[in-house]
């Protein structure tokens, strides 16, 4: 599955992004206070589940953050209960038990429908909580939201057009988790081969590095401007793109969208500057959708 959005090879595709029927009323230019407050949190205060719901509320203004957050808590309780009944000799046993709960007991699954990429629910955490189906944006997001509260030290990683997770262990090799395939394991080398990660993208850290929570929030937040741009809220969309770029200057997907934004606005100099930066960091449009 394409990383973060399936809307993509031209900026016109952003304009055609799926639009919520409950889209928020336009606000003054800039980020809403709730989003600004969220971005001001230190790394160790970020709860990725709650943060993602706060962000989703900018597209679904009637979204009850507390109600959806309590559903994550219910999943945490269910996961703990199941995991306590399983062998726990090492971290592999722990992850196997957690995967079994998430995929077999709770029933998280990849959305293979022909119109999956057109469903707005597949791009926001509340959507996958409602449908139990998602793609490479929301499946890792829900997995991490539950894992963080257990707690398990899971972090996000990107490859071209794809997101996956990584279980990080102190003084030991990390363990990649392919959430779109039942929590299976792929080595770094296999991700690099499968998704065509360029050497420049590896060296710059644009791809395959373990993201901080703040950097991962940028991936989650990117869905908002792709919706509100269609509503004609171009300056607000720009504020989101710029905030994401500030969270992670090596996010080549955001750089690419900034280049498209300014090209659509007729600002070719600004567009080219962002495009050049993305190329310097080693942007790739990938070799596989998953």
- How far apart CA 163 and CA 141 sit, in angstroms, is 9
> How far out from the chain centre does Cα 41 lie?
18
Residue 286: band (very low, low, confident or very high) from pLDDT cuts 50, 70, 90: low
pTM over 0.95: no
pLDDT per residue over 178-209, tens digit each?
Answer: 999 999 999 999 999 999 999 999 999 999 99
The one-character DSSP state at 207 is: S
Domain positions in the chain are 11-21+31-281
Nearest 5 degrees, angle CA 274-CA 37-CA 248? 25
For residue 49, give the 3-state DSSP assignment: helix
Q: Taking 70 as the threshold, does the pLDDT of residue 213 lie above it? A: yes
How far is the C-alpha of 27 from the C-alpha of 6, rounded, in Å? 27
Q: Are 271 and 263 in contact (CB under 8 A)?
A: yes
243: pLDDT strictly greater than 50: yes
Distance, in Å, from the CA atom of 24 to the CA atom of 195, rounded to the nearest integer, reads: 36
Residue 108 CB contacts under 8 Å (≥ 6 apart), including other chains? 102, 128, 132, 133, 134, 139, 142, 143
- Phi first, then psi, for residue 94 (nearest 5°) are -60, -45
Beta-ladder partners of 184: 178
* pLDDT at residue 22 tops 60: no
- Element counts in the chain: helices (H) and strands (E): 14, 5
Mean pLDDT of 95-106: 98
Average pLDDT, the chain: 90
pLDDT of residue 11: 44
Contact 283, 256 (CB under 8 A): yes
pLDDT tens track for 57-66: 999 999 999 9
d(CA 267, CA 149): 44
Contact 264, 172 (CB under 8 A): no
């Amino acid at each position: 599955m394409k990383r973060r959005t399936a809307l993509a090879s031209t900026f016109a595709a952003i304009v055609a992004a799926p639009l919520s029927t409950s889209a928020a009323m336009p606000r003054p230019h800039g980020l809403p206070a709730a989003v600004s407050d969220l971005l001001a949190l230190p790394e160790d205060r970020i709860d990725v589940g709650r943060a993602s719901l706060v962000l989703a509320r900018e597209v679904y203004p009637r979204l009850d953050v507390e109600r959806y957050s309590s559903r994550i808590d219910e999943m945490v309780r269910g996961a703990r209960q199941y995991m306590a009944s399983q062998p726990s000799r090492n971290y592999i046993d722990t992850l196997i038990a957690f995967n079994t709960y998430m995929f077999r007991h709770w029933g998280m699954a990849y959305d293979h429908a022909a119109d999956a990429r057109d469903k707005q629910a597949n791009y926001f955490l509340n959507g996958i909580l409602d449908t139990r189906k998602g793609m490479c944006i929301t499946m890792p997001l829900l997995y991490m939201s539950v894992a963080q509260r257990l707690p398990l030290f899971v972090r996000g990683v990107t490859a071209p057009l794809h997101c996956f997770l990584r279980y990080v262990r102190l003084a030991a090799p990390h363990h990649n988790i392919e959430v779109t395939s039942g929590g299976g394991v792929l080595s770094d080398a296999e991700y690099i081969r499968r998704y065509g990660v360029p050497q420049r993208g590896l060296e710059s850290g644009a791809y395959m590095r373990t993201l901080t929570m703040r950097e991962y929030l940028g991936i989650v937040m990117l869905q908002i401007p792709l919706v509100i741009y269609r509503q004609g809220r171009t300056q607000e969309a720009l504020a989101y793109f710029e905030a994401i770029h500030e969270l992670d200057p090596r996010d080549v997907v955001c750089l690419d969208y900034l280049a498209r934004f300014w090209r659509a606005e007729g600002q070719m100099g600004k567009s080219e500057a962002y495009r050049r930066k993305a190329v310097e960091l080693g942007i790739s449009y990938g070799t596989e959708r998953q």
